[in-house]
Amino acid sequence: MKKLSLVLALLSLALPGIAQADNPIEQCYKTATTQEAIRECNKQELKIVRKEYRELVDKLIKEANELDRVIGRNEATPALERANMAFDRYVAEQCKFEQKALGGGRGATSANLTCQINLLHWRMGSIENFFAK
């Protein structure tokens, strides 16, 4: 029961950036009947989110390249590359922590996948806010 409470607490911290009504993670947990089915559902969702994330990052890279070209300096693109690498490391470590916090229980892999989905959504929101400025 403590593990389930921890998972729900961790999810609640990450989910505010995602519209609750359309939350695919929540749908996985509602519709899947086994841990394996939940894990597979989350894997499919992560594939979709990674593709969307990559497309958005590619757009941001083009913007950074254009900015560097216009101002005649090579600053924005390298800074973005460092930020992307740092974010990737953060996602890996944070999600590993969330998985380990469950002590290797049956839902640990799903917790890792859910963490990745939530953090990618968070970063996409941050990037989209950047474009909105």
How far does the chain reach from its first CA to its final CA, in angstroms? 44
**Domains in the chain, please, with CATH?**
23-132 (1.20.1270)
Render pLDDT for 53-97 as a digit per residue (tens, 0 to 9).
999 999 999 999 999 999 999 999 999 999 999 999 999 999 999
CB 118 within 8 A of CB 11: yes
pLDDT digits (tens, 9 = 90+) for 47-57: 999 999 999 99
Interatomic CA distance for residues 76 and 99, integer angstroms? 34
